[in-house]
C-alpha cells in the first residue's frame, strides 16, 4: 500500500474520522478523505519531490541581510498558496478549510516526505495559526491569520537564546512599552527555522520576551507578535545575524535573529507567554513526529526501488535474505510510526469536541509520537543507506540526504530526552489511569502484545513513583518501549481490517516487539 492509501485506511477505518469530522463542523465522507490524500500525494510527488536534491545542493545564502533560498522555492511556494494546502485545518472564518487536524497531519507527512526542508516553512506557519487562533485578540486574528492561512506570510517560533537553550526560564529578550499601546522588543534568538527568507511576502515572529516588571523565571515571560515588515512595507527592527551551516536540511534557513527595538504586540496576558506558546510547541512536537514518519517513508521507498533494480549474484538484491530483512523492518516501522502519529492527531481532534479521556490520551501520546517516530526515522534512514551499500553513502543516490535531514528531528522542539522526562515525570503522574487504559487496549490487540503491554503498565507505575534521578535514568528506554508496544498494537489492528498489512504486522510482532521488553529491563535497571 502507498503512504496515501495507508493514511486513508487509518483515518477512515481505524479512527472513523468521517463521523468525527461532522462533530467538528466540517463533515467529510470516506471518499472525500481518499480524494484529499490522493491529491496531496500527487502534489507532493509531482511538484515538491523532484526538486528535493537540487534544493539540498543549493542550500541557503545570506546576502546583504537577505536569505536566498533554492531558486525553485519561490515558484513552489506560489503553487502551494494557489492550491490552498496551508489552510487545510485552519479556521474557516480566517480563510481556512476547517478540516480536522488529523487531515493536516496526513497531508503534512506527504509534504515532509517529499522535501523536509521546504515542509518546515508550512509546519511552523501552521503552528503560528494554531497559537493565534486560540490566543490572539479579535483584532490581531483579523490582521494576522488570513495572510498566514493563505501562506502569503510565514510564521516563526522565537524561543531559544544563546545562553538559554531548552531552559526557557533563562530567556533575556526584553519588551518595553512604547507609550502607544505597543512594545519595543530587543534581544537575540537562535536556531529560528525560516526566520529570514526571500520568498514569503512577510514573516511574523512569535517571540518570548520579558516585560520590565516581569518576575524571574518562566512565570515572567510574555509573548509578542513581531512582523518583519510593518504596514506600508517599512522594515521593522528585526534582522538576520547569520544562518547555520548544518548537517542536513540545507535548504531550510536556520537563523540567528536580532531584534533591535522592533515593534511588537502583546499576545495574550502579560507574563503568560509560555502557556500561550505551548499551543504552538505542542503542535510542533506532533508535526516533528510526523516529519519522522515522512523520512521513514522516503527512505523506505528509495531503498525498495534500489533493491528491486540492483542485481547481484544473478538476482535482485531485494531477494537476498538480509536485504529482505532490512526492507521488512523499514516497512513495518514506517507503518507503525504512521499509526502512532495519526492516533496522536486524532486524539487532538477528539479533545476539541470534548470527548472524555481524549485530552489525557493526547498528553501521553505527544512525547511518544515526537520521540519514537523521530528516533525511528534516523534508524530507518540508516538502514536505507545499508540497503544501498556503498552507493548509499555517496550523495548521488539521495539516501544520505534523508539520513542527514532526519537527524535534526530528535533534537527539534525539545530533545527526545526532554520528551521522555516529560512523559515520565509530568504526564504519567497526572495520567496514570489513562496510560494503563492505553496499555490494556494495546494488550488486547493481539495475543503477542498481552505480556509486553502488562509489563509496560507495571513499569509506568514504578517509574512514576520513583525518585527523580531513577525516573530520569529510565525515562528514555521507557518511552522507547511504549512506542514499540503501541506501534505493534496499531499494526495488529490495521492488519485485522486490511490483510495487505499482515506482512508488516507479522514481522513487527515477531521480530521487533521483543525490543520492548529489553528496553523496559533497561528502564528499570539500577543506575
Q: Which residues are catalytic?
A: 413
The H or E element that residue 197 is part of is none
How far is it, in rounded angstroms, from Cα 367 to Cα 130?
19
Can you name the residues that pair with 278 across neighbouring β-strands?
none
Cell numbers standing for residue 48: 515538491
Cell numbers standing for residue 324: 529482505
Q: CB–CB of 306/384 below 8 Å?
A: no
How far is it, in rounded angstroms, from Cα 120 to Cα 205?
15
Three-class secondary structure of residue 233 per DSSP: coil
Question: Counting every residue, how long is the chain?
Answer: 527
Three-class secondary structure of residue 98 per DSSP: coil
Three-class secondary structure of residue 366 per DSSP: helix
Residue with cell 520513583: 466
Diameter over CA atoms, the chain: 79
Q: CB–CB of 393/400 below 8 Å?
A: yes
Half-sphere exposure of 273 (CA within 13 A, CB side): 30
How far is it, in rounded angstroms, from Cα 14 to Cα 8?
9
Q: CB–CB of 428/460 below 8 Å?
A: yes
How far is it, in rounded angstroms, from Cα 78 to Cα 82?
6
E-strand stretches of 415-474: none
Q: CB–CB of 494/501 below 8 Å?
A: yes
How far is it, in rounded angstroms, from Cα 232 to Cα 290?
38
- Helix 428-443 vs helix 447-464: crossing angle, to nearest 10: 170
Residues 6+ apart with CB under 8 A from 437: 357
Amino acid at each position: 500500500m502507498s503512504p496515501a492509501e495507508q493514511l486513508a485506511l487509518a483515518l477512515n477505518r481505524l479512527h472513523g474520522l468521517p463521523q468525527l469530522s461532522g462533530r467538528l463542523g466540517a463533515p467529510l465522507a470516506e471518499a472525500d478523505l481518499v480524494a484529499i490524500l490522493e491529491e496531496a500525494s500527487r502534489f507532493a510527488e509531482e511538484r515538491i519531490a523532484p526538486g528535493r536534491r537540487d534544493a539540498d545542493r543549493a542550500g541557503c545564502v545570506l546576502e546583504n541581510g537577505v536569505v536566498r533560498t533554492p531558486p525553485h522555492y519561490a515558484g513552489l511556494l506560489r503553487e502551494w498558496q494557489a492550491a490552498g494546502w496551508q489552510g487545510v485545518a485552519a479556521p474557516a472564518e480566517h480563510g481556512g478549510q476547517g478540516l480536522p487536524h488529523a487531515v493536516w497531519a496526513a497531508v503534512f507527512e506527504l509534504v515532509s516526505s517529499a522535501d523536509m526542508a521546504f515542509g518546515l516553512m508550512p509546519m511552523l506557519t501552521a503552528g503560528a495559526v494554531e497559537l493565534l487562533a486560540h490566543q490572539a485578540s479579535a483584532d490581531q486574528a483579523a490582521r494576522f491569520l488570513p495572510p498566514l492561512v493563505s501562506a502569503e506570510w510565514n510564521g516563526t517560533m522565537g524561543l531559544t537564546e544563546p545562553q538559554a537553550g531548552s531552559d526557557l526560564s533563562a530567556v533575556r529578550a526584553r519588551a518595553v512599552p512604547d507609550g502607544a499601546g505597543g512594545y519595543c522588543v530587543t534581544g537575540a534568538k537562535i536556531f529560528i527555522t525560516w526566520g529570514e527568507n526571500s520568498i514569503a511576502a512577510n514573516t511574523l515572529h512569535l517571540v518570548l520576551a520579558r516585560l520590565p516588571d516581569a518576575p524571574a523565571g518562566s512565570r515572567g515571560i510574555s509573548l509578542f507578535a513581531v512582523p518583519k515588515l510593518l504596514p506600508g512595507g517599512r522594515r521593522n527592527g528585526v534582522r538576520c545575524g547569520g544562518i547555520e551551516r548544518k548537517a542536513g536540511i540545507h535548504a531550510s534557513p536556520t537563523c540567528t535573529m536580532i531584534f533591535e527595538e522592533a515593534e511588537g504586540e502583546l499576545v495574550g496576558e502579560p507574563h503568560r507567554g509560555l502557556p500561550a506558546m505551548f499551543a504552538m510547541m505542542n503542535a510542533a512536537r506532533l508535526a516533528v513526529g510526523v516529519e519522522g514518519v515522512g523520512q521513514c517513508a522516503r527512505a523506505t521507498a528509495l531503498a525498495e526501488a534500489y533493491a528491486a533494480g540492483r542485481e547481484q549474484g544473478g538476482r535482485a538484491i531485494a531477494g537476498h535474505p538480509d536485504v529482505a530483512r532490512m526492507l521488512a523492518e523499514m516497512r513495518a516501522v514506517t507503518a507503525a510510526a504512521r499509526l502512532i502519529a495519526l492516533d496522536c492527531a486524532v486524539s487532538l481532534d477528539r479533545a476539541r469536541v470534548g470527548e472524555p479521556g481524549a485530552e489525557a490520551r493526547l498528553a501521553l501520546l505527544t512525547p511518544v509520537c515526537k520521540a519514537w517516530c523521530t528516533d525511528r526515522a534516523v534508524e530507518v534512514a540508516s538502514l536505507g543507506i545499508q540497503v544501498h551499500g556503498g552507493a548509499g553513502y555517496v550523495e548521488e543516490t539521495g539516501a544520505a540526504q534523508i539520513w542527514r535531514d532526519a537527524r535534526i528531528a530528535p533534537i527539534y522542539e525539545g530533545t527526545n530526552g526532554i520528551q521522555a522526562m516529560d512523559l515520565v515525570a509530568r504526564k504519567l503522574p497526572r495520567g496514570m489511569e489513562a496510560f494503563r487504559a492505553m496499555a490494556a487496549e494495546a494488550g488486547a490487540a493481539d495475543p503477542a502484545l498481552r505480556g509486553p503491554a502488562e509489563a509496560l503498565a507495571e513499569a509506568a507505575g514504578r517509574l512514576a513513583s520513583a525518585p527523580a534521578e531513577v525516573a530520569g535514568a529510565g525515562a528514555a528506554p521507557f518511552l522507547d518501549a511504549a512506542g514499540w508496544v503501541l506501534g505493534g498494537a496499531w499494526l495488529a489492528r490495521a492488519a485485522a481490517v486490511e490483510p495487505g498489512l499482515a506482512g508488516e504486522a507479522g514481522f513487527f510482532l515477531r521480530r521487533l516487539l521483543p525490543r520492548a521488553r529489553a528496553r523496559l529491563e533497561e528502564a528499570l535497571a539500577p543506575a
